[in-house]
Amino acid sequence: MVTFDLVSKVLYELAYCQKPNIKVSVYSQLGVKIMVTVGYCPIVGGRCNKNEPEIRVQPDTFFLAEPFKPDEERKRREAIVKIVLTEEMKDEFCEKNLRAADKEPKEAIFCDVCRMIQSSAYGIADISGLNPNVLLELGMMFALGKPVSVIFKKSEEESLKEKLPSDIVWKRVIPFGEFIDLHEELRKHIQNRPAVSLEISPATEMKKIIAEKDPELAKRMESELQEISRVAAEEFKRLMEKAKLSGAISDQKVEIEPSAEKRLDEIFEKVKQVEKLMGYPKDAESAFLKGNWHVKREEYERAIDLYGWSLNLRPDNHEAWYNEGYALGELGRYEEAIKCYEEAIKIKPDNHEAWYNKGNTLGELGRYEEAIKCYEEAIKIKPDDSSTLINLSEILIVANKTKEGLEAATRALTASKDPQDKSSSLFLSSLAHMLQGNAQEAESKITDLMDHIRKEGSAAANTQYDFSLIEKVIIEKLSSGEKTRMLSLVALLKGERESP
């Protein structure tokens, strides 16, 4: 006898099962066998030891396995692949459709590469030079049954014939002289790509079997689950809106009352349990809100997965692109973050936060001229935003544009309403004057800064501000006495010492 309680128990076990997907679980009471899929590691051939959530293949996504050097070749390769995908997929193409590692896959980030490969529907691999990382990624794609287009330089054709399996060399490759030569042949490969069946989750498979055995029970179970899901999702959305967590993520930490946070956690867990039985959220908004809550909990990997799912359902959501960029930035995946900010800007060119955080990210990479341009675009949108003006001033000073840096700091000081912003503006002004040799002006700004700190107390300390770039400038460019004084001010602003 198939009962509702039994079905619920089996679905719950499926949802939380930790067996690797190469094994089969038998539920004799239901008279069925079903393959259980969890996070899978193709390197060890078993369950992922990182406790990865279930990885879903995303439709029309391509993983590009490529050598990292020389860098100019990598840029040209990625450019021609994007052109081909854009021409073939037209309006449906976006940055999400092409995935490539933005750093050489060493141990620290290899799981990111593995996740990208598993969630991609297709692969493209440049085996020129027989780069070991590319060959490993190609082997993973073959092992996982991904349709792969293999490309290599014509000049290496003879040597490759001797080193690679014949079925790869003779049947599945596109030789090229220059990357532009790939255009027509690669487009044909993509145009004729086989359809990829997206993986059905164990719970979905089980519900299908139950429907065949007892249609009435299946209808009742689906109806009850949908109602539970609807009620939980509505309350979660309402609480997220009340907590001001339903839109673009802010750099400022959002404080929530403990009781409200506890209730959000309870509802969030309820939503997660229901979705383990019913699959990923069916609407973009639910996935987006769940991503935001993961960011609040500093669970950035899971947030990225949910933003990706949301964007597959609604690729024109500039806030989802921005928030994914924010989460990637928190993990130090700066190149990927920049791509997300660029997508957000394409959709909403006056997105101040996207321009601002793209500038911050470029600054982290040492690409100061590009960062300056981003801050300038952000300032066009919000001319009196003190945070943007402060960051622009800092980068200008770091880039040896002290005069412009002083002008930005002066504007920031005028615009500053927050005690911390005023502290940063006065400090940058004093540093810029000191670097220019204006000792009297520098001393005046330092006096203003100390008066401000005495007046505001701990509220003037800017503990979240990263002074590392400015500290480097102080150490390298100031005299011994100036250096000691300015580093002492940095420690004071960071809250590392008490004000005199």
Q: Are residues 164 and 222 in the same domain?
A: no
Q: Which long-range contacts (CB under 8 A, 24 or more apart) does 396-402 make?
A: 396/372, 397/428, 397/431, 397/432, 397/435, 397/470, 397/473, 398/368, 398/469, 398/470, 398/472, 398/473, 399/368, 399/369, 399/372, 401/372, 402/432, 402/435, 402/436
Q: Are residues 247 and 304 in the same domain?
A: yes
Cβ neighbours around 246 below 10 Å, total: 17
Q: Are residues 309 and 390 in the same domain?
A: no
Q: Are residues 277 and 390 in the same domain?
A: no
Q: For 207-245, how does the pLDDT look when each residue is reduced to its tens digit (9 = 90+)?
A: 677 777 778 877 777 776 666 666 666 766 777 777 676
pTM summary value: 0.66
Residue 315: which residues within 8 A CB-CB, separation 6 or more?
94, 96
Q: Report the pLDDT value the prediction gives residue 273, as an integer from 0 to 100.
A: 63
Within a domain: 400: yes
- Please choose, from the candidates 320, 63, 42, the residue with its C-alpha nearest in 3D space to the C-alpha of residue 328: 320
Q: Are residues 393 and 423 in the same domain?
A: yes
Q: Report the pLDDT value the prediction gives residue 395, as an integer from 0 to 100.
A: 95
Domain of 175, CATH number, reads 3.40.50.450
List of the chain residues with pLDDT < 50 = 1-2, 4, 12-38, 51, 105-108
Within a domain: 326: no
Within a domain: 439: yes
Q: Domain end: 264, 292, 316, which one?
A: 316
Within a domain: 136: yes
What does DSSP say about strands 98-99 and 62-65: parallel, antiparallel, or unpaired?
parallel
Q: Are residues 8 and 86 in the same domain?
A: no
Q: Are residues 287 and 395 in the same domain?
A: no
Within a domain: 245: yes
Within a domain: 247: yes
Q: Are residues 154 and 168 in the same domain?
A: yes
Within a domain: 42: yes
Distance CA 209, CA 32 (A): 8
Q: Report the pLDDT value the prediction gives residue 433, as an integer from 0 to 100.
A: 94
Q: Are residues 387 and 467 in the same domain?
A: yes
Q: Under DSSP, is residue 395 helix (H, G, I), strand (E, B) or coil?
A: helix
Q: Are residues 67 and 108 in the same domain?
A: yes
Domain that holds residue 118: 62-191
Q: Are residues 181 and 72 in the same domain?
A: yes
Within a domain: 220: yes
Count how many domains the chain has: 4
Domain of 468, CATH number, reads 1.25.40
Q: Are residues 66 and 186 in the same domain?
A: yes
